[in-house]
Amino acid sequence: MSWQGTRVVVTGGGGFLGSHLCDALVSRGACVTAIDDFSYGSPAHLKTVSAGVNVVRCRLGEQAESLKEALEADVLFHLAAVADPRRCKADFESAFRSNVLGLKACLESAGRLRRLIFMSSASVYGEPEYVPIDERHPLKGKDPYSVTKAIGEWLCRHYRENAGLPITIVRNFNTFGPRQSGAYLIPTLIGQALSRGKIEMWNAAPVRDFTFVSDAVAALMLLAEADGAEGLTVNLGQGAGIRVGELAAGIAALFGVPLVDLRQEVIGSPELVCDNARLKAVTGWAPRVSLEEGLRATIEYFRERNGTGLEPARQP
């Protein structure tokens, strides 16, 4: 599929991943609309492509007519969500409204799409029975964020079966890179090193699988292009796990600052490592940016902005 002239909508387009996706789509000649209420995202994230993106400020589920008009597209990437598990736990009503009812509003308003990509999360797997985790793994996630994403997946299956929407569900593991919020692990670690001269992490034990943002964007676009991806649920991850303590120690070493393990309770699965065989088979995707290269690029981004993310490091 050629992206030149393709009408694409990205919900959550002002967010971390959404804005990088808009960048890539514009560079490929797509006609891009970014829908965001900017409660979490930022218009500044889209400034580099502002001339090529139609920005619609809209809260999903509350402006039905505006949403229906905005969703006249060929491809829809639904990324809008309250994606911080701690925020979901603190305000489950808001998370449900955004992650479930907002998705439902998009599914009801969508026109004749070539493809709808729904961004779910590997958190739906919960505590793993085996690693790496493939798409056949039982869904055992019980925290509020995982629950909203699991419900979202069932909504997508319902609308695919009953309304004929061509949907691909993507279970994302952990994406990182420039523009990511300080609420997430890697920018928090970097921000602390820059602003405090030390790093505090909540817990060293969890294992996570990190993918640099440009690789994640490439995977999403390839899944939208691939005919064989329609109707599938597909994991998105690097395919290699690293313990949070090891990651934090590596970042601390790059800055030459001390590291403190707070040994606090964390939310979510103790180990999430991706089996990405299905993604590779369907699209030919392979990660191009190593963890070290991605960390250096992210550190450079935050250095230029004097650091962000001043709270203690947490589980991603």
Domains of the chain, by residue range, sit at 7-174+211-236
Token pair 């911080």 is found at 84
pLDDT by residue (tens digit) across 196-247?
Answer: 999 999 899 999 999 999 999 999 999 999 999 999 999 999 999 999 999 9
- pTM for the full predicted model: 0.93
Which residues sit opposite 211 in a β-bridge?
175
171-194 b/e (C-beta count within 10 Å ≥ 16 → b): bbbbbbbbbbbbbbbbbbbbbbbb
pLDDT at 104 over 70: yes
pLDDT at 261 over 80: yes
Distance CA 310, CA 271 (A): 25
Return the pLDDT at 313. 41
Return the pLDDT at 74. 97
Mean pLDDT of 281-309: 89
Return the pLDDT at 64. 64
How far from the centroid of its chain's Cα atoms is residue 167's Cα? 17
Nearest-10 crossing angle of helices 16-27, 213-225: 60
Q: What is the DSSP letter of 110?
A: -
Class of the CATH domain delimited by 7-174+211-236: alpha beta
Mean pLDDT of 130-139: 98
User: pLDDT averaged over the chain?
Assistant: 92
